[in-house]
Structure 1
């Protein structure tokens, strides 16, 4: 293939743009915020589970306290009735004596229930402290995740803006070069890890970094200026300039 030497040199400008686009794509795929967001998502999930368990513990204690309060209210109602009957003092002496014994039992039962309620209230205070601490940790993790997602989105927006600018510069450049040269360059670039053309500097291929010797060096030196030469080793287009050392 033949192409104007100036067009060949402009391939390096096209390659610079494509290299920048590839770097932007790599940066987009490997943003550290992706891993941070994933780690924070796992942390948030674990804290959500922990919060649910802590809330269940508080709710269970609240139900037990409510049950005890109901039992205490029932004992108080029964005591009030018995006390009212004792205050009236009417009825057989045996029945009044039984009421007195029942009052003693009810007082003892009320004390037991109130002691149990007090113990549960202390347990609830501890459980609530655990729940509050988990909620604070969860809120902090959610805030960190939101901040990290915002940084990720900002980075992606900046990358997209840079990529759009580079792509906008590539299109007119590629359109201004010979179509067959660009087609060959793109084919090589896709097959060679993103590098389709490289500068030949000091007798060394800029693609594979190997130095040319013997007949290969002679072949390149003897090639006409408009001949599109390729490296025998990496098959990339070698762009010749005054720096090529031939």
Structure 2
């Protein structure tokens, strides 16, 4: 028994429509925007990790800076106190040399701590600049991602409309 030629043509047309729909669905699932979005997302994730690392280093440096400032305060106070005692003549001749030695030691300690403090301040500044630069770069990527999402959604809508059109043709 052979099928009616009209029915065979209709069946072939339905198969052709199904093939077109399958191709469109494949195109929709493999839009180039999706690959680019995945690439940008990976870059964005890496930048976010780098930002966190820079902010952590900055936080560590700020904590170290506070520790140095805490160490500096008593050293400066002791230096001022010792110098005032010497200037007021309140030190016995026997205790003068050890007091002068201590003042010299305190000046060296203060100078070392101040140098450390300057280095740390530079590190804080550098890490802040790094974090800001990376954040600006991430913001640019996020803008590009939003633009790509709009393009992808537009392309997907167009493909969905074509798929829907073929679905309507298939029903008739």
TM-score, length-scaled by structure 1 = 0.59
Is structure 2 residue 92 aligned with structure 1 residue 92? yes
Q: Which has the higher helix share?
A: 2
Is structure 2 residue 67 aligned with structure 1 residue 67? yes
Give the structure 2 partner of residue 186 of structure 1. none
Question: Partner of 2:134: helix, strand, or coil?
Answer: helix
Report the aligned-residue RMSD: 2.5
CA displacement 1:32-56 (0-9 Å, x = unmatched): 1121112112212222222222222
User: Which runs of structure 2 are paired with 1:222-233 in the superposition (5 Å)?
Assistant: none
Larger RCO of the pair (alpha carbons < 8 Å, separation 6+): 2
Give the structure 2 partner of residue 121 of structure 1. 121
**Could you list the runs of 5+ residues in structure 1 that have no partner in the other structure?**
174-246
Distance in 1 between residues matched to 2:25 and 2:91, nearest whole Å: 97
Question: Partner of 1:145: helix, strand, or coil?
Answer: helix
TM-score, length-scaled by structure 2 = 0.80
Give the structure 2 partner of residue 151 of structure 1. 151
**Could you list the runs of 5+ residues in structure 2 that have no partner in the other structure?**
none
Of stretches 24-33 and 148-157 in structure 1, the one that deviates more from structure 2 is 148-157
Give the structure 2 partner of residue 107 of structure 1. 107
Give the structure 2 partner of residue 17 of structure 1. 17
Q: Is residue 44–residue 138 contact of structure 1 (8 Å, CA) maintained in 2?
A: yes
| Larger Rg computed on CA atoms | 1
Is structure 2 residue 64 aligned with structure 1 residue 45? no
Query: Deviation of residue 110 (structure 1)?
Result: 1.1
Distance in 2 between residues matched to 1:74 and 1:163, nearest whole Å: 78
